[in-house]
């Protein structure tokens, strides 16, 4: 006699959905002295982090020093102040800068780049004026690395016939 097939009911597992967990963003660092706008400027190997504060005394400090103490020549000071002069906003902000790397002139131009970027964040209408002056353009020229077998990047050792 043939065996009868018995049908067994398989238990259907219900999949329970877990409640959606909200992803929390990383905690923000508290701002020290009120609201500020930050711009990062670069030139060669110099990097400048510039913060424009709308409140506080209207001064420029670089690495904890006054601008005139850090950049002693008037040429360097004019480079830093030039974005403010072009936008007529010199006495409107307190500026705090952390700059590192490179030489003195390179650092001054990195600060100028960072100031211009921060001004654009504060007021986007200034973008065209600063762009025309070339303050928003990152000057990417850097020193070329030294190659093996050469004295410098491209300078070959002096050749002698005898």
- Residue-level pLDDT at 4: 61
111-140 pLDDT, tens digit per residue, is: 999 999 999 998 899 999 999 999 999 998
Nearest alpha carbon to residue 64 among 36, 95, 105, 43: 95
pTM for the whole structure: 0.73
87-105 pLDDT, tens digit per residue, is: 888 778 899 999 999 999 9
More confidently predicted of 18 and 87: 87
- Residue-level pLDDT at 49: 96
More confidently predicted of 24 and 95: 95
- Residue-level pLDDT at 30: 42
Beta strands in 17-150 (DSSP E): 36-43, 46-53, 60-62, 65-66, 94-100
28-78 pLDDT, tens digit per residue, is: 444 444 688 999 999 999 999 999 998 888 889 999 999 999 999 999 999
Choosing among 3.40.50.300, 3.30.230.10, 3.40.190.10, 3.40.50.150, the CATH entry for 36-133 is 3.30.230.10
- Residue-level pLDDT at 35: 84
- Residue-level pLDDT at 29: 45
- Residue-level pLDDT at 62: 94
d(CA 160, CA 35): 66
Residue 147 above 80 pLDDT?
Answer: yes
Domain chopping of the chain, boundaries: 36-133
- Residue-level pLDDT at 152: 95
Q: Which residues contact 105 (CB under 8 A, 6 or more apart)?
A: 76, 79
d(CA 140, CA 42): 8
């Amino acid at each position: 006699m043939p065996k009868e097939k018995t049908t067994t009911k398989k238990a259907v597992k219900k999949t329970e959905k877990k409640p959606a967990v909200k992803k929390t963003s990383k905690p923000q660092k508290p701002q020290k002295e009120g609201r500020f706008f930050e711009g990062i400027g670069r030139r060669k190997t110099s990097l400048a982090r510039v913060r424009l504060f709308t409140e506080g005394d209207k001064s420029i400090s670089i690495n904890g020093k006054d601008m005139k103490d850090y950049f002693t020549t008037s040429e360097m000071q004019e480079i830093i102040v030039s974005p403010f002069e072009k936008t007529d906003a010199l006495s409107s902000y307190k500026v705090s800068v952390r700059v590192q790397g490179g030489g003195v002139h390179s650092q001054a131009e990195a600060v100028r780049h960072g100031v211009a970027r921060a001004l654009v964040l504060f007021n986007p209408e200034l973008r065209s004026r600063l762009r025309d002056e070339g303050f928003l353009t990152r000057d990417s020229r850097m020193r070329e690395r030294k190659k093996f077998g050469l004295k410098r990047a491209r300078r070959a050792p002096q050749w002698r016939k005898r």
